[in-house]
Amino acid sequence: MLFFGAAEFYQWMQGLTLPLPFFIALGGLLAIASNADKWRILTRPVQSAPSTTLPKPQPTPIPAAPNPVSFTIPKRKSAILPVLNPEKGA
């Protein structure tokens, strides 16, 4: 019985045609409904709760690094390619 009802409903849906303005209107209503919580017009104002001041958290001191890191690259003489010195005329 359930399969018969599903088959009849499927055949009825195949013959159903809806115009384009119907889908445009449904899309607009869906957009309004999905964003309704962002509008102040549609929502009631929330009554503010009694304000309680929380104490400010004290910043924790950051310990110094035991071994400081240097990001400078030392100049070395290349073992692969000779370095040409323009002052010597090489």
* pLDDT tens, residue order, the chain (90 aa): 888 999 998 888 888 887 888 889 999 999 988 887 777 665 565 566 666 777 788 888 887 767 777 788 877 766 666 556 666 554
Flag whether 7 is in a domain. Answer: no
Flag whether 39 is in a domain. Answer: yes
Q: Quote the domain boundaries for residue 27.
A: 17-43
Q: What is the DSSP string of 22-81?
A: HHHHHHHHHHHHHTGGG-TTTSPPPPPPPP-PPPPPPPPPPPPPSS----PPPP---SSS
The number of domains in the chain is 1
Flag whether 23 is in a domain. Answer: yes
Q: Note the pLDDT of residue 27.
A: 94
Model-level pTM greater than 0.75?
no
Q: Note the pLDDT of residue 66.
A: 78
Flag whether 61 is in a domain. Answer: no
Q: Note the pLDDT of residue 28.
A: 93
